[in-house]
Structures are given as C-alpha cells and as structure tokens.
Amino acid sequence: MAKVLEVKNITKTYPGVVALDDVSFDVEKGEILALIGENGAGKSTVIKSIAGAITPDRGTIVIDGKAYEKLTPAMAKEAGIGVVYQELNLVPSLSIMENIFLGDKVGGKLMPDFRQMRRRSEEIMADLGVKIDVSTQVQMLSTAQMQIVEIAKAVVKNCKVLIMDEPSASIPMAEVENMFRIVRRLKEKGVSIIYISHRLEELFELCDRVTVFRDGKYVITKKVSEITKKDLIRYMIGRELTEKFPERSVKPGEPVLEVRDLTGNGDFHINLELHKGEILGLAGLVGAGRTELAKMLCGDVKPESGQIIVKGRPMKAVSAADGVAAGIGLVPEDRKLEGVFLEYTIEWNIPIMSMKRISHMGIVNFKEADRLTDYYVDTLGIKTPSVKQEVRNLSGGNQQKVVVAKVLAADNDILIFDEPTRGIDVGAKQEIYKLMNNLVESGKSILMISSEMEELLGMSDRIVVLYEGKVSGSLAKEEFSQDRVLELASGM
Amino acid sequence: MSKVIDFCRRNLAWVLLFVICVVFTFTSNNFLTLSNLLNILNQNAYIIICTYGIALIMMSGGLDMAVGYQMSICGVLCAMMLTGTGIPMPLVVIITIVVSVGFGALGTLLEQLLQLPRIFVSIGLSTVYQGVAYVITNSKTISGLPDSFKVIGQGTVLHPSLTYATILMVIGGIVMSFVMDRTYFGRYVFALGGNEAAARLAGINVKRMKYAIGCVAGFFCGIGAVILTSRVGAAAAGTAAGTEITVLTGVLVGGVSVRGGDGKIANCIAGVLIMGLLANGMQLAGLNTYYQYVAKGAIMLLVMWFDAFQIKRRAIAANKRKEERAA
C-alpha cells in the first residue's frame, strides 16, 4: 500500500528536555493507525508537528509524496491533514453547517452562499452516514454529535490523514460504537486515520496497526492482530506491570451510607447502600444520573425527596458544606474545573477544606496547615520539587492526588470518586488504585463512579448500575462480567 | 540581583510609590515634610478605606462599580439626618454605615436573584443611587453640619495634620491585612476568586461568603462616606462621583487581578496613594480635574493591559513547564 504520510527523523527539544528524539513512522493509505504512549511520551508533540502547530528542530514530514521541513497550520490543512482535538472547538451559537465551513468562504466574497453551504454539509453528513439537520445550532447538540461536527469540519477539505486525539474520552460509552462506525466509513473512502487513545481495548477493535512511543522516542509499530495487550503495556511503560489491580485484604463492614428513595430532577429515584471499607462501583451511561447522585450525596444538589443516612444519622444538606460536615467528600469528575485551585500552590490547596477545623476564633493555625500538607504530600506520594509549586504545573496524576489530599485532609470517611483516573496515564493510574486500596484498608469507604469497564470490574467489591436515573441492577463480585454491566447499563 | 527583581515585582506598587515620592521630593520643596505627607494621607483616607472593601470584592473575583454613588447617597443621607432630624450624631453615623452595609448586601442579593455578575448589578445600582441622591437633595448641597460631626474627618491628634480619618485608615488596613493573610475567611475569599466551583464543592458556603463580602464592602464604603462628608463639611449628590474609577485603578495598580484570586491589601493602599499623588502633582502643575480624568483613564487602561499581559505570560510559562516535564 502507498504511504500517505511519512514522519522522518523528527527531533524537537525544549529548553532542558528532548520532547521528540529522532522519531520516524509512517501511515499507509486507508489504514487506521493507533498512536499510544503514556502522558509525556511525545504523542501530542508529534501531532502538533504534523498539523503545523509547532516546528520541529530537525526532520521532514512527507505528505502524499511531498516533503515539508516547515509546516504552518494552513499548509498542513491544504496538504490534507485534518485534526479532531480532544477539546471541542466549535462556536455554540452557530449552526452545524456554519461550523463546518468556519474560516472558509463558500460562495461570494462578501455574502456566504448558504444554499451551497447547506448542500455541501448535507453531502458530508451523508458521507459519514449521519442523519442530522445541518441548520441546527451546535449548542443544541449532544457532545457526541458535536464530535461528529468536528470530524465533518476536519474532513471537509480533501482530507487525506485525519488525526483524532482521544476521541472516546469526551463522549458517552454508548456513543463510542457510533463514532467507530464513522471512522471505519472514512477509512473505506480511503482516508487514513491516526487514532490516539488511552483505552487499549479500543485499539484492538478499531485499528490496523499500532505505533508506540515512550519518553519521546519511537518504540515499535506492530499489526494489531500480532500483539497482545500485555505486550503493548510493556512497550509503553518499558517494564512489566505485574498486577494491574492490586489485591486488598479488607472485608466490607456495616453500612455507613444509606440512600433511601432519593428523587430529584425528573425520573431520578435511587436506593443504595455503601459499607465501611468497601469500594462500591457505580456504573451507567453518561446521563444515567451518576454524577447527579454524587452531587446530591455531597450536598451540592438538593434532592426533591428521600433520605441520605450517614452512619445512622439522616443528613440534611443545603450545600456541599453540609456534606463535608457529615463526612462525605467528593473528588469531582472535572479536576481542573471543580477539583483544584490551579493558580494556587500545593500548600494552599491541600488544607483549604480543613480551614475551619484548624482555625481558632477565625484565625488559621498555619503550622497545622503545613503539617497537613507535608503529611499528605508524603503519604500520597505527590511528586513535586516543592509544596510552593502552583498546582497547574503538576502532571494530571499529581493534580488528582492533590484533590484527594484536599478531601482526605478534611477528615472525610466517605469518599466519592467521580471518574478517578480520567486523563491519567497508566503508571499514575496504578498509584491512584493503590491509594484507593490503602484508603479502604484504613477504614474509609469509597463510592467510585467510572466509565472504564476494567477499572469497575477490577477495583469494586460490588457494582451498582444505573439506567435512566434508577438502579437497574446490583452485582456482587462473583457475578462481575463486562456483558452483565453493559446489559444493565443499557436497560436490558 | 534576582532577589531584588523579585522583591520589586512582588511589591511593584510600593516601588512605584517610592519612585514618585523621590521625583516629587526633587521637584517640590514642600513635598518631603511631615505635614505634607500627613496631608496626603488625610486626603486619601476615605478612598483607601473604601478600597479595603472593593479589594475584597475583586479578590473574590467580582467587580463593583457602584462605590462612587453609593458613597454619595450615604453622605447625603448622613447630612440630611444631621440637619433635618433630631437624631443624635453618633446614631446618625451608625445608621449611615448600616444603610451602606445594606446596599452592599443588596448588591449580592441582586447578583444571586438575577444570576448576573456583580459588575452589571453594580453599574445598574450605581445609576439608581445617583438618581435617588439627586432626587432627595433636589440637586442642592446640604451644609451646616454640626461641629461635633466635623471632628471625625477634621479632628487631629499629636500633630496638626494627623487626622482621626488617617488613624482609622491605618487601623482598617492592619485589620484587613490580618484578615486576608491569617483567617480562614481570607482564604475563602481567595478560594472564590481562584475557582468558584471548586470552592463550592470544597464545602465553602459560596452564597454566604458573597453576602459577607458584600456587607464588608458596604461597611467600609459607609465609613468612607461618613469621613468624606465630615471632612468636606457638606454633602451633595455628586460629591463622591468617580471615586470608583480611582479605587478600581488603585486596586489594579496594587496588583489585584481583574480575574480575582490574587493580591495584597497593603499593595492596594500603595496603589491608591499613587493615584492620589499623581492627581496632586497634576493639580500643582496647574492641570485641572478634567486633565486628571484623562490621566486616570489612561493609567487604568495601562494597568488592565499589564494585568492581562501577566495572566497570559504566566499561563504560557506554566504550559511550557508542563510540556518540559511531560517531555
């Protein structure tokens, strides 16, 4: 097969570090190539080089036989490179078709030709096999639909190579299959795809070949049919991961959190129990009500009716302050938006939830605050040169640990982890899992909301599955299977 | 050397203030005298007291443009109560401050009720205050205030230029610095300014905090109004108009970001003093109030640009560090 993209000996250095070290690989016409590696392996640097967002120090990029030393974003687009970034870049108030042609002139010099725009948009959507009214405003769409618009936007101009950065991370589990279908359709039309993902299972389902990066270096390219997941992980981290989900010895005890007939927001109606020393997995599709439940449990959202009983005492919550007072701490889904104070230091972040407790007459005991910080930086193994480091300078895994430290420092016994390992690389995931184990072993209880099947099956003592705001099933450890969870999650 | 630069960056407002003072010392014979310096403090005392509240709002991520007319209306009310009713002077002062606290809370109430950012609410309220102040005074200046009241702004101790107002300003500054640096209330204010959603989920009662901040701002604004009225010895609807720009610019010069979450009370004092000195210098150079507006506006644009530039620079630096670490 013909090579549509060749990356030849690319090196990119930043002051003090080599982000890409003499990297070469190629993409064949009409194939789906997976690009994997831990955070910091150089995936995003290489993508940015191909898309023209950065200029490498050395090396050549050959697109469809034409060699480029220096690419600009406009040149890359012209040459047939399309990129769907992890975060969506659409204008919510404009229609689908206007978004697809954003930045391109359709029709006359002054007035856009909307009829032509509509026709061409409809053609693209038909090509992708999607039925949708292209004059719908983007803000009315679901995340998955927005992603489809992003794909349409990327392929509108004679796209030869489509780069997709973690496309499955931002959409619901149920929609992933549909996205795959679109990707396969593009492949049939001769478009090559570079597919980046942290979810290894997906690669085996979707991709033809896989290229592994580690520490800024190219490691290997293999046919997906000729490699196992275990090998992939070994290539990615450069060592064998002995046990993915560490064992723990603690057995769940008496109930610490009981949810009785909790209702709110339409169809929502939940009953469940969390025991001491237990990790209870909470599964379900996006929109099944998991995050709403989490927010109600921590007091942030007020339920319409029903009871939340914490250690035998009914909790009356009007704000998250009451949840914290009752001993329930939330590690939110969106770390940056809801979890940490990015611009402040580690020593500022960790004691913030404990401020009132360590204050006397409103005056903070800063010695105690420093002690808390040191203790948790140490216990959780937060890697940083100094506690005076701003949190935004930390890696995703370490930021997550800061959130956990903040919640733990407030003496919460019941912890709600909403997607605890989202956007964290394999090594850091391991550490978060170990940390969760240590927590339940020390007598805490954890409610873990997760969309990652392996994590749910590997970490939970019990799994409760939600479907459209109601508990559709509860699985004990011996009943765990991926199929069962998926069935319950889709209401079967 | 880098330590010196770092010190200057962190205390930019004080360094600037020092430079301006040095310049004035050489250009004017009377500048570096105790009475002149005390006079400058006295002239700016009411603005600085007001600044404590506005700085708090800005540190928590809000922006309040109503201080000017809020002070005006409070001053007018104070003067009317003193001249037109038999309410004893101390009680009038207390009522004035309580009303101002109420105005501060009203700002928060509308912010919550209408789900609007404070800046919009305050611009609306400011216009309402302005109108009401003109209506109740009939556009006339209220004078003939009792001497016992004038003492607050004009009375002195120890030195003929050291006024009670100045002393109040210093005490207020010390208290507020302490509150911001040492109490959990101060931490919570910064938490709100840094990331409101995270603050809420961390168990901080955001609503209550915003009311508290609004009330504190109203409290200082009320004190400012009393001092201003007492110092001038009269009140009119337009007396304090434009103060909000001086305060806002002073706070920005003092290093508080428009995005909130940063800053020190002491630096804000320096910021307002810089504004005061520049106005004073222009006055001495024979440039009237209208020229001063031009200068104030230009400085405001300059510091806002600088603030935006700093935010961008820091974000780029953080990204770079992260990429380096990742790579």
- In this structure, the answer to whether residues A259 and A338 fall within a common structural domain is yes
Min Cα–Cα distance to chain B from A369, Å: 11
Does residue A242 lie within any of the structural domains?
no
Residue A18's pLDDT is what?
A: 78
As a whole number, mean pLDDT of residues A337-356 equals 91
Provide, as residue numbers in chain B, all residues whose Cβ is less than 8 Å from the Cβ of A40: 325-327
Q: Which residues contact A11 (CB under 8 A, 6 or more apart)?
A: A18, A20, A21, A22, A23, A56, A57, A58, A59
- In chain B, positions 205-224, which contact chain A (CB-CB < 8 Å)? 205-207
Number of folded domains that form chain A: 2
At B61-89, the pLDDT tens digits run: 999 999 999 999 999 999 999 998 889 99
Contact A402, A432 (CB under 8 A): no
DSSP label at residue A392: G
Residue A33's pLDDT is what?
A: 94
| Strand partners of residue A445 | A414
Q: Strands A445-449 and A462-467, how do they pair?
A: unpaired
Q: What is the DSSP secondary-structure string of B76-111?
A: HHHHHHHHHS---HHHHHHHHHHHHHHHHHHHHHHH
| Strand partners of residue A470 | A269, A467
Residue A210's pLDDT is what?
A: 93
Contact B243, B74 (CB under 8 A): no
In this predicted structure, the answer to whether residue A312 has a pLDDT above a threshold of 90 is no
Cβ <8 Å between B201 and A338? yes
B318 at interface of A, judged by CB pairs closer than 8 A: yes
- In chain B, positions 33-92, which contact chain A (CB-CB < 8 Å)? none
Least trusted range by pLDDT, from A86-90, B45-49, B235-239: A86-90
- Which whole-number Å values give the CA distances from B163 to A140, B34, B150, B225, B272, in the listed order? 62, 13, 11, 16, 18
Please state the pTM of the whole predicted model.
0.77
Cβ <8 Å between A395 and B318? no
Given A202, A237, A272, the domain boundary residue is A237
Contact A449, A416 (CB under 8 A): yes
Q: What three-state secondary structure class fits A469?
A: coil
In this predicted structure, the answer to whether residue A240 has a pLDDT above a threshold of 60 is no
Q: What is the DSSP secondary-structure string of A122-154?
A: HHHHHHHT----TTSBGGGS-HHHHHHHHHHHH
Q: Which residue of B has its CA nearest to A21?
A: B327
In this predicted structure, the answer to whether residue A269 has a pLDDT above a threshold of 60 is yes
Residue B61's pLDDT is what?
A: 92
Contact A294, A416 (CB under 8 A): yes
Percent of chain A with pLDDT over 90: 26
Residue B225's pLDDT is what?
A: 96
Least trusted range by pLDDT, from B117-126, B132-141, B292-301: B292-301
Cβ <8 Å between B203 and A40? no
Min Cα–Cα distance to chain B from A44, Å: 10
Tokens describing residue B162: 């050291």
Min Cα–Cα distance to chain A from B61, Å: 13
B187 at interface of A, judged by CB pairs closer than 8 A: yes
Q: Which residue of A has its CA nearest to B327?
A: A19
Letter string b/e over residues B211-221, b meaning 16 or more CB atoms within 10 A of that residue's CB? bbbbbbbbbbb
Predicted-complex ipTM score: 0.84
Does residue A250 lie within any of the structural domains?
no
As a whole number, mean pLDDT of residues B5-26 equals 85
Provide, as residue numbers in chain A, all residues whose Cβ is less than 8 Å from the Cβ of B314: 343
Identify which of A19, A323, A395 has the shortest CB distance to residue B203.
A323
End-to-end CA distance of chain B: 31
In this predicted structure, the answer to whether residue B227 has a pLDDT above a threshold of 70 is yes
End-to-end CA distance of chain A: 43
Min Cα–Cα distance to chain A from B109, Å: 18
At B126-172, the pLDDT tens digits run: 999 999 999 999 999 999 899 999 999 888 888 888 999 999 999 99
Percent of chain B with pLDDT over 90: 62
Does residue A461 lie within any of the structural domains?
yes
* CATH code (residue A162): 3.40.50.300
Does residue A129 lie within any of the structural domains?
yes
Residue A491's pLDDT is what?
A: 72
H/E stretch holding A462: strand A462-467
Min Cα–Cα distance to chain B from A23, Å: 13
- In this structure, the answer to whether residues A449 and A475 fall within a common structural domain is yes
Domain ranges of chain B: 35-240
How many inter-chain contacts (A to B, CB under 8 Å) are there?
A: 106
In this predicted structure, the answer to whether residue A248 has a pLDDT above a threshold of 90 is no
As a whole number, mean pLDDT of residues B241-265 equals 88
Query: In the predicted model, what is the mean pLDDT of chain B?
Result: 90
Does residue A55 lie within any of the structural domains?
yes
CA angle A409, A410, A412 (to 5 degrees): 105
Does residue A407 lie within any of the structural domains?
yes
Contact A121, A96 (CB under 8 A): yes
Sheet holding A305-310, edge to edge: A313-314, A305-310, A255-264, A268-275, A470-476, A462-467, A279-283, A445-449, A414-418, A328-331
- In this structure, the answer to whether residues A231 and A305 fall within a common structural domain is no
Cβ <8 Å between B183 and A39? no
Most confident of A288-302, A382-396, B4-18, B213-227: B213-227
Confidence of residue B30 (pLDDT cuts 50, 70, 90): confident
Confidence of residue B99 (pLDDT cuts 50, 70, 90): very high
Cβ <8 Å between B203 and A410? yes
In this predicted structure, the answer to whether residue A1 has a pLDDT above a threshold of 90 is no
Residue B1's pLDDT is what?
A: 64
Confidence of residue A39 (pLDDT cuts 50, 70, 90): low
- In this structure, the answer to whether residues A281 and A227 fall within a common structural domain is no
Cβ <8 Å between B324 and A14? yes
Confidence of residue B2 (pLDDT cuts 50, 70, 90): confident
Residue B326's pLDDT is what?
A: 55
Provide, as residue numbers in chain A, all residues whose Cβ is less than 8 Å from the Cβ of B185: 362
- In this structure, the answer to whether residues A209 and A352 fall within a common structural domain is no
Min Cα–Cα distance to chain A from B180, Å: 10
H/E stretch holding B43: helix B34-59
As a whole number, mean pLDDT of residues A35-63 equals 86
List phi, psi (to 5°) of A419.
Answer: 50, 65
Confidence of residue A144 (pLDDT cuts 50, 70, 90): confident
Cβ count within 10 A of residue A385 = 7
- Containing domain of residue A10, as a range? 3-237
Q: Which residue of B has its CA nearest to A416?
A: B201
In this predicted structure, the answer to whether residue A73 has a pLDDT above a threshold of 70 is yes
Cα–Cα dist B21/B15, whole Å: 10
B28 at interface of A, judged by CB pairs closer than 8 A: no
Residue B58's pLDDT is what?
A: 94
- Which whole-number Å values give the CA distances from A401 to A354, A404, A434, B35, in the listed order? 16, 5, 12, 56
Cβ count within 10 A of residue B283 = 13
Tokens describing residue B219: 């409290």
Residue A70's pLDDT is what?
A: 86
Provide, as residue numbers in chain A, all residues whose Cβ is less than 8 Å from the Cβ of B326: 19, 39-40, 395
B185 at interface of A, judged by CB pairs closer than 8 A: yes
Cβ <8 Å between B327 and A342? no
Question: CA dihedral in degrees (B288, B293, B294, B300; nearest 10)?
Answer: 140
Residue A155's pLDDT is what?
A: 86
Most confident of A258-262, A411-415, B33-37, B209-213: B209-213
- Which whole-number Å values give the CA distances from A19 to A13, A291, B32, in the listed order? 5, 37, 57
Cα–Cα dist A10/A42, whole Å: 11
CA A166, distance to chain mean position in Å, is 8
At A156-172, the pLDDT tens digits run: 878 899 999 888 877 77
- In this structure, the answer to whether residues A160 and A261 fall within a common structural domain is no
List phi, psi (to 5°) of A87.
Answer: -90, 145
In this predicted structure, the answer to whether residue B210 has a pLDDT above a threshold of 90 is yes
